Amino acid sequence: MPMKLIGSLTSPYVRKVRIVFLEKKVDVDLQLENVWAADTKIALSNPLGKVPCLILEDGEALYDSRVIAEYADALSPVSKLIPADSRDRATVKTWEALADGITDAGILARLERTWRPAEEQSSAWVDRQMGKIQNSLRQMSEILGENAWCHGNQMTLADIATGCALGWLILRFPDLKWQAQYSNLDRLYQKLLQRPSFIETEPPAA
């Protein structure tokens, strides 16, 4: 039985691990699951009720996306995405945490607006989350500077995670217009968009 990736086409975390598998040239079957549907079976695989969730050949379930990305990177020597050196590794994984943190904050802000009745919504909460996104974009732009990649001289998981977060912001928060504010992030994003792995995992229009 080949590995099975349970996920959705719009999740930035699912996209991140799909891109990692594509870059590594490791085959995985994508099984679409709507975790928000009343009859979702996701909890049978991941009690946290979240995707992505990777089901290994022997049935073991792996989550979350950072665990899956690391596992996938170790599966083949093709395109090493997480450096071996511990300091470089930590830096790349901090970029990943920053990128994932942007979508974590964005999801919390979105759920506040879409999930709760209007009278229960807290603008202070939404502002808090949006502030995290703004601060993180600024930090990413500052560290990236004029460099070709987020860390080192080749593409790593840092760039993949960053590209997925930036793409998800365009999908869910088009008014943010981060491209106009941070031209170097846009340059990186445009470069990533040329890759077959990014093209193949482009989210459907919301």
* Residues of this chain that bind ligand GSF (CB under 6 A): 11-13, 35, 49-52, 64-66, 100, 107
- Smallest CA-to-CA distance from 172 within 112, 121, 119 is with 112
Q: Cβ closer to ligand GSF: 67 or 148?
A: 67
Asked if 14 contacts 8 with a C-beta cutoff of 8 angstroms, the reply is yes
Q: Cβ closer to ligand GSF: 60 or 119?
A: 60
Quickly list DSSP for 75-126.
H-SSS--S-SSHHHHHHHHHHHHHHHHHHHHHHHHHHHHHHS-GGG--HHHH
Q: How many CB atoms lie within 10 A of CB 174?
A: 9
- Rounded to whole angstroms, the Cα distance separating 206 from 194 reads 21
Q: Cβ closer to ligand GSF: 22 or 105?
A: 105
Q: How far is the CB of 48 from ligand GSF (least distance, A)?
A: 7
Q: Cβ closer to ligand GSF: 36 or 154?
A: 36
Which 3 state secondary structure label does DSSP give 47?
Answer: coil
Cα 170 vs. chain centroid, distance in angstroms? 13
Asked if 45 contacts 61 with a C-beta cutoff of 8 angstroms, the reply is yes
Q: Cβ closer to ligand GSF: 13 or 95?
A: 13
Q: For residue 73, which amino acid is it? A: D
